[in-house]
Amino acid sequence: MSEAAALPPSTEHKQPVTLVNQVKAAEILTVDPRTLAGWRYRGGGPPFVRIGNRVRYKVRDLYAWIEERTFQSTAEADELA
């Protein structure tokens, strides 16, 4: 049995993950790093990864989170709020 066959299905064919720290994530989202900290505490922000005592964000999750909040009108945005 090869190593690849031994991996659980959820880890096969995954793209490499690029992680960024809170400062870089805040730059991508154009918010203050303290805003991200508040979202982590209260919920409602982008998903994050904790590695030991460090917080990291997957770049793809940040862009997905942005896309989920892209609207054509304020009425559309208010419907989903």
User: Which CATH number is 41's domain given?
Assistant: 1.10.10.10
Q: Is residue 23 part of a domain?
A: yes
Instruction: Flag whether 3 is in a domain.
Output: no
Count the Cβ atoms, other than its own, within 10 Å of residue 21: 12
Distance CA 55, CA 47 (A): 10
CB 36 within 8 Å of CB 22:
yes
Query: Which pTM value belongs to this model?
Result: 0.76
Domain membership flag for residue 36: yes
Instruction: Kindly state whether residue 5 falls inside one of the protein's structural domains.
Output: no
Residue 7 lies in a domain: no
Q: Is residue 57 one of the residues assigned to a domain?
A: yes
**pLDDT tens, per residue, the chain with 81 residues:** 444 455 555 555 577 899 999 999 999 999 999 999 999 999 999 999 999 999 999 999 999 999 999 998 998 888 766
What is the count of structural domains for the chain? Answer: 1
pLDDT computed for residue 26 by the predictor: 98
- Identify the domain containing residue 31 by its residue range: 14-75
27-35's contacts with Cβ under 8 Å and 24+ in sequence apart are 28/59, 28/62, 28/63, 29/62, 29/65, 29/66
Assess if residue 71 is contained within a domain. yes
